[in-house]
Amino acid sequence: MVVAVLGPGGVGGALAARLGLAGHRVLCIARTDTVAAIARDGLTLDWRGRTLAARPEAVERLTEPVDLLLVTVKRPDLEAALDRIASDAVRSAVVLPLMNGLEHVEAIRAHLGRRVAVGSISRFEAYRVTPTLVVQTTRSGAVTLASDELPPEDLERAAVILSSGGIEVRIGHGERAVLWEKAARIAVLAVTTALTQRSVGELRADPDWRQTLEAGLAEACAVATADGVPQTAEAQLAIVDSLPETLTTSTARDVAAGLPSELDAIAGSIVRAGRRLGVPCPTLEGLIQQVEETCRAR
């Protein structure tokens, strides 16, 4: 199968390496400097002490047909990245965004049409050290995908491809449910780790911050429930308690480095959904404001 990865950063780079080593032809679509680096050195995945070396192809623009297109860019880069995809290249592909937040799917469909499924990746932490070196800290990972429009056999084909790379895959029931599957907790974790620069384990062990986590999760779950996807803060907190102690978020890393972050796309999308549905989110709004003020003060 031919798999394209738009945005071979942490998640995208790790998946590109895994799928290439599984025997698929993998094309990484990226900017000029990243394309040159991957063409020269390939991709190296540092996975829990193991070094996996892959040789995907790298191109600045996708023009040939593929079976699966993974969209793994960060939200601020999405529109520019989508301009690198020719519409003919995804005419029969499954386009699967693995991004956080609630608002990116329609933006992708506006560029690429109705072949876009909805996806979510969880239990997966990976970050890019250099354009060709990615570190994956988690054991494996799980992807949930769904589509209200694509035929079941197309989703099954995408699931088989991803499974070959050692990823647990589940086909969910409905796009909205998949979008919300992790949106509530990642919004709270993104904003709290970005503000404190502390790991998930440190936050949940601190009584004051645990109370903040609970309040934020209660708000996000109330928004999800109002949007037709019932969730409880207790269930989400149980998942947070099961996460690796050292886990952090890409939002926290970007804020620490002074880079554009996905704070608005992740946490801001929950707040906007709350306003649309009449569900107040004072805790999340306050945390977002504190992070923004901290960034402006630097």
Contacts of 271 (CB under 8 A, 6+ apart): 281, 284, 285, 288
Distances (CA, A) of 12 to 26, 63, 72, 251: 11, 19, 5, 16
DSSP label at residue 264: I
Helices marked H in the chain — which ranges? 10-21, 32-41, 78-82, 104-112, 152-164, 175-196, 200-205, 207-226, 233-242, 250-257, 263, 269-277, 282-297
Q: Which CATH architecture has domain 2-173?
A: 3-Layer(aba) Sandwich (3.40)
Strand-pair category, 94-97 with 2-6: unpaired
Side-chain-side CA neighbours of residue 269 (13 Å): 23
In this prediction, residue 108 carries a pLDDT of: 97
DSSP label at residue 77: G
Report the distance separating Cα 272 and Cα 287, nearest Å. Answer: 14
In which residue are the tokens 């693995």 written?
98
Sequence ranges of the domains in the chain: 2-173, 178-297
Residue 123: pLDDT band (50, 70, 90) is confident
Answer whether 155's CB lies under 8 Å from 117's CB: yes
74 is catalytic: no
Answer whether 7's CB lies under 8 Å from 131's CB: no
Q: Which residues pair with 4 in a beta bridge?
A: 27, 69
Burial track 142-157 (b if 16+ CB lie within 10 A, e otherwise): bbbbbbeebeeebbeb
Give the predicted TM-score (pTM) of the model.
0.92
Contacts of 296 (CB under 8 A, 6+ apart): none
Q: Mean pLDDT across the stretch 275-296?
A: 95
DSSP of 92-121:
SSEEEE--SSSSHHHHHHHHH-TTB-EEEE
In this prediction, residue 60 carries a pLDDT of: 97
Tell me the pLDDT tens digit for each residue of 174-200. 999 999 989 999 999 999 999 999 999
Tell me the pLDDT tens digit for each residue of 40-99. 999 999 998 899 999 999 999 999 999 999 999 999 999 999 999 999 999 999 999 999
In this prediction, residue 297 carries a pLDDT of: 77
Question: Residue 70 CA to chain centroid, in angstroms?
Answer: 11
What element of type H or E holds 245?
A: none
| 3-state SS class at 298 | coil
- The catalytic position among 182, 203, 236, 273 is 182
Residue 296: pLDDT band (50, 70, 90) is confident
- The pair of three-digit structure tokens given for residue 47, joined into one six-digit string: 């996975």
Tell me the pLDDT tens digit for each residue of 229-283. 999 999 999 999 999 899 999 999 999 999 999 999 999 999 999 999 999 999 9
Report the distance separating Cα 144 and Cα 121, nearest Å. Answer: 7
DSSP label at residue 283: H
Residue 298: pLDDT above 80? Answer: no
Q: Which residues pair with 127 in a beta bridge?
A: 135
In which residue are the tokens 């993998």 written?
26
In this prediction, residue 185 carries a pLDDT of: 95
178-297 fold = N-(1-d-carboxylethyl)-l-norvaline Dehydrogenase; domain 2 (1.10.1040)
In this prediction, residue 172 carries a pLDDT of: 92
Tell me the pLDDT tens digit for each residue of 216-239. 999 999 999 999 999 999 999 999
- The pair of three-digit structure tokens given for residue 160, joined into one six-digit string: 């088989």
Residue 133: pLDDT band (50, 70, 90) is very high
Answer whether 18's CB lies under 8 Å from 45's CB: yes
In this prediction, residue 54 carries a pLDDT of: 97
